[in-house]
Amino acid sequence: MRITLAQLNPVVGDIDGNLSKAFDVLSRHSRDSSDLIVFPELFLAGYPPRDLLDNPRFIQKAGRALNELAKASANHPNTGILVGTPTLTERQTGHGCYNSAVLIYQGEKLFSQHKSLLPTYDVFDEARYFDTAPDIRTVLFKGEMLGISVCEDAWNDPQLWKHRHYPFDPIEHLARQGATVIINISASPFQMGKQEIRCNIVKSHAKKYRVPFVVVNQVGGNDELIFDGRSMCIDMNGTPLEVFPSFKEHVKTVDLSLAGKTGTFAVQGKTESVCKALVMGIGDYVKKCGFSKAVLGLSGGIDSAVTCCLAKAAIGKENILGVSMPSPYSSKGSIEDSRKLAENLGISFKVIPISPIYSSFLETLREHFRGCRPDITEENIQARIRGNILMALSNKFGHLLLSTGNKSELAVGYCTMYGDMAGGLSVISDVPKTMVYKLAHYINRKKEVIPKKIIEKPPSAELKPDQKDLDTLPPYDLLDQILYCYVDEGKSLQDILSMNFDREIVKWVIRAVNKNEYKRRQAAPGLKVTSKAFGMGRRMMIAAKYDF
């Protein structure tokens, strides 16, 4: 069987646009003797459609698009289509909607397999919208018994997990029913290290059941989620026939009768994959939200430098405006380093001093602050002045404001609401500070793009004389280790202390994470690249009291 894998980048809600992409692939690839064209999970709707699924008109429009695709298939009588879409259950109870893979052939909707396993962990909330498939069946198509599954249905192999979320394995059911080819349509979001895990799962199924396994995964950025693609065909021995590139659209027809080749799955380094993911995330967020240009503050620090480099790679140097906003405490080097970075990147650059505005604030508040010593209030005023200037530029010229804070700072609240947190997209909010340095070195791997001084200088907010991050925070390599244990792995205080960390530092970090939930709730959407990002994947109460 010759199967065309259509690794595409749908837009959530744009049913007409997504359908047009499907028509284009059908017209181009039905001519190359393809038996079946496979599109990703919920392709017609875009993934994740979230509360659009609660709108009956949206489901109806998806149904009409499915009918149009079926009608068009009549003009390509030798090629079937497998596409992901929401479908109605036609039942009186439940949510009334399935997450479905629909097989189309010669003008007819030949078969539907609905998703069986509906994830509700991390960023997923599918049980909120969908009903579970009532059954799992195979279908005979062109001499092959197809076992069709949807994303999570392939992730419950009992041999791979110590703890499973579900009591049964849909792939095992398909294999027992005599599937000779297993196909999984997917919208599996990216996170560091996940590509290799996904490949190992598919290889395990193929070897275990001695059947070829095909995965077609969505690619692109949709809000905070980034989809890496990496679609693949694995032969019955668990050897790759074809592994698609990551972070770009790719369509190709693969002959499943061929034997696989070893070494076709190249594991990407974590830093490289995070860099490519963030570039795609920025580019799609800008484009899909209707922007063409972006603005960001350049402090002379490594966070804004890395963010600027990623933005330039995503949308082009001609579409980036960097702004240096020196205060009375800004070093001369910070302005010069920012200017040098802008020159290296070829972006537009402005210097807008904030000292006059800051002086005006202090004079206005002098009487009201009488008897009070300067503290973090005066520091935050500077950050908020900068946020206002950047938002003014954003409003006036229609640029998307990119905020530049990293995950380590956001975790412990080392950031200012309505100041450096202002923005439409928080690019590196899921990137720990230690990974920011790795990204900087990766960006500089061929030549110096980020000035060496920016990378080597001690991190500082420069909001008071001789300020350094280490005056307030533990060393970042230590902080990031503790944060990974507490935030990403969910370890308790006692669990972390058993790893020989300093007790007072651990307690400070945990208290800081817990008490700053109110800040994170008001942060701009951030691009997810780790196993546990702040935002929709970590839902904590603000008005709460807990200590463990």
Answer yes or no: 515 catalytic: no
Crossing angle of helices 302-315 and 270-288, rounded to 10°: 60
Q: Is the peptide bond before 240 cis (omega within 30 degrees of 0)?
A: no
Q: Which amino acid is at 362?
A: L
Round to whole Å and give the CA distance between 354 and 492: 43
70 three-class SS: helix
Helix (H) or strand (E) holding 220: strand 219-222
Sheet of 80-88: strand order equals 108-114, 97-105, 80-88, 36-38, 2-7, 250-255
115 in active site: yes
Find the catalytic residue in 21, 61, 115, 532. Answer: 115
- Residue 465, Cβ neighbours under 10 Å: how many? 7
The one catalytic residue in 61, 97, 126, 151 is 151
Backbone φ and ψ for 5, nearest 5 degrees, come out as: -95, 120
CB 218 within 8 A of CB 43: yes
CA distance 177 to 192: 35
* Token reading at 356: 């006059």
DSSP letters, 507-538, are: HHHHHHHHHTHHHHHTSPPB---SSS-SBTTB
Residue 199 neighbours by CB under 8 Å, 6+ apart: 230, 232, 240, 243, 265
From the number of C-beta atoms within 10 Å of its C-beta (0-12, 13-18, 19+), residue 542 rates as: exposed
Catalytic residue among 41, 224, 242, 462: 41
Beta strands in 318-456 (DSSP E): 320-324, 348-351, 400-403, 425-426
Q: Which of 166, 273, 241, 151 is nearest to 201 (CA)?
A: 151
Q: Residue 201: helix, strand or coil by DSSP?
A: helix
Strands 240-243, 219-222: pairing kind:
unpaired
41 tagged catalytic: yes
The span from the CA of 165 to the CA of 152, in Å, is 10
Q: What is the 3-state secondary structure (H, E, C) of 308-335?
A: HHHHHHHHCHHHEEEEECCCCCCCHHHH
Distance from C-alpha of 221 to C-alpha of 426, rounded to nearest angstrom: 14
Burial 46-62 (b: 16+ CB within 10 A, else e): bbbbeebbeeeebbebb
φ, ψ of residue 461 to 5 degrees: the values are: -80, -20
The tokens of 322 are what? 């960097």
Active-site residue list: 41, 115, 151
